Amino acid sequence: MSLARKLGRLSPRARLLILVWVLTLPLVNPWVRGDGVGYYAYIHALLIHGDLNFKSEWLHANPSFRMGRVDADGRLKASQYTANGHVINHFAVGPSLLWAPFLVPVHGIVLGLDRLGWHIPANGYSRPYVVTMSLATCLYGFLAVWLGFVLAREFFDERIAFVAALGIWFGSSLPVYMYFNPSWAHAQAAFVVALFLWYWHRTGPKRTLRQWIWLGLAGGLMLDVYYPNAVLFLLPLTDALGCWSRLFQEKEARQEAWRRLAEQSAFALAVMIAFMPTLVTRAIIYGSPFQTGYGGLWNWTAPYRLSVLFSSDHGLFSWTPLLAVGVLGLFLLRGKNRTLGRLLLLVFLLLYYLIACYVDWAGISSFGNRFFVSLTPIFLIGLAAFLDGVRRWSKERRWVWRASCAAIGLLVLWNLGFIFQWGTQLVPDRGPISWRKMAYNQFVVVPQEASGKLTRYFLNRGGLMHQIEQHDLENLKEHGAKATAPAAQPPAR
């Protein structure tokens, strides 16, 4: 079936979602910066020099990333090498795996064009590469929203799923990592979680052996992109425990038990196979497949419980309040599907506990709490459940529905204004902010500056990004902000 015919079979709201994505593509900002240097380094190193030595990637990085990693003579510091002799790279390999299907053919095309005299630098950083990487990230971010929308409309009216999709899409931290910082991992993390959640729900607890294997491969990829995504394994674990509970209550179920054991073993094996790129890269860089580079950064008493949610230093609900509505909706989801509602709420709570134990819980340079972007489809389903609850409570009075949509629209506008402030550094991108100053900016400064800055963003983006980078570098030098470099490793001998 042709693409045009497939699109023609979609509902008007589904097509509108696709149209919104296409219209927002010019917002994509093709650059590799900050944490994105580490994520992009894998595919760049393999394509350009065929190894996992990241020295050239670190030296090519933006100035704020190089700070603390490069000495005054322009050489990498000894602390940036592992005992295994490789440059430290604790960032996950998963995003590069997702970019590879797009970047590998682009690299081949660039090499071919260069031989024909086009003189396009085949260095991994020229426009074809970074534009391709950025558009791929934008596609993955959209697919996270799309799969969340597909799931939500299985439980709720499509108009509710549509409004929830638009609300979470533009009312959360997702736009920052889908458009502005596409070399970071969070939009891809949202995609792999959405893929895993969608396939888990689609196949159900009685999935076949092949379906268990595919789910396992999706789960391994989910870990490759973002380790804390492991909290999603609660879903198939619940299926497995429910299966064994029923089998123990039945008589003469030995054959069925062996079949279920084979399926679940295949799932575990598939997870390990898909997770192999992470284990191999850890072994090469650190000398052990189980060394992540994040050691000593956890306090399991969860000392940052309230800060994670409400702090002015990138609190989840204080920065992106629409997500609080999404979490509240997970309680209401139990009215449609009690088991799913409880499981998704528990997944959120598990990730919340994990981040509350993490020393850098605020994400250092982060819009909102970026560690929760991976749960985008769960927040979307929760918001849809909340809207459905409002609809049922109001007995479908139109004015209540319109007021709900208007409230979501206002929260989206508030979020977009906040993103503008953060991106242009009207508020600090690191550390706590002044809510009084932020509110003043929202009502006074943002309306005054938005038009001019957006014009520069589209017509002179390179100059604007250089200005933002220089301002960030000056702030780091002036205020001594926490460096982005990981904890020092023993130098190579």
pLDDT at 1 over 70: no
337 — alpha (psi -120 to 50), left (phi > 0) or beta?
Answer: beta
pLDDT at 252 over 80: no
Cβ count within 10 A of residue 233:
19
C-alpha–C-alpha distance, residues 233 and 208, integer Å = 18
Query: What tokens does 445 get?
Result: 């400064």
Query: What tokens does 260 get?
Result: 């279920």
Least confident range of 111-120, 136-145, 406-415: 111-120
Residue 406 is which amino acid? A
Q: What's the confidence (pLDDT) of residue 296?
A: 66
10 Å CB burial of residue 290 (0-12, 13-18, 19+) is exposed
Higher pLDDT, 241 or 196: 196
Query: What tokens does 338 get?
Result: 């009690």
Cα–Cα nearest to 97, from 54, 31, 46, 55: 46
Query: What tokens does 256 get?
Result: 């069925």
pLDDT at 486 over 60: no
88 — alpha (psi -120 to 50), left (phi > 0) or beta?
Answer: beta
Q: Where are the domains of the chain?
A: 17-29+131-479
User: Would you mind telling me the total number of residues written for the chain in this entry?
Assistant: 493
Q: Give tens-digit pLDDT for 354-365.
A: 999 999 999 989
Through-space distance between the first and last CA atoms of the chain, rounded to whole angstroms? 60
- Mean pLDDT over 370-374 rounds to 97
- What percent of the chain stands above pLDDT 70? 92
Cβ count within 10 A of residue 165:
26
Q: What's the confidence (pLDDT) of residue 488?
A: 38
Residue holding tokens 């689609």? 202
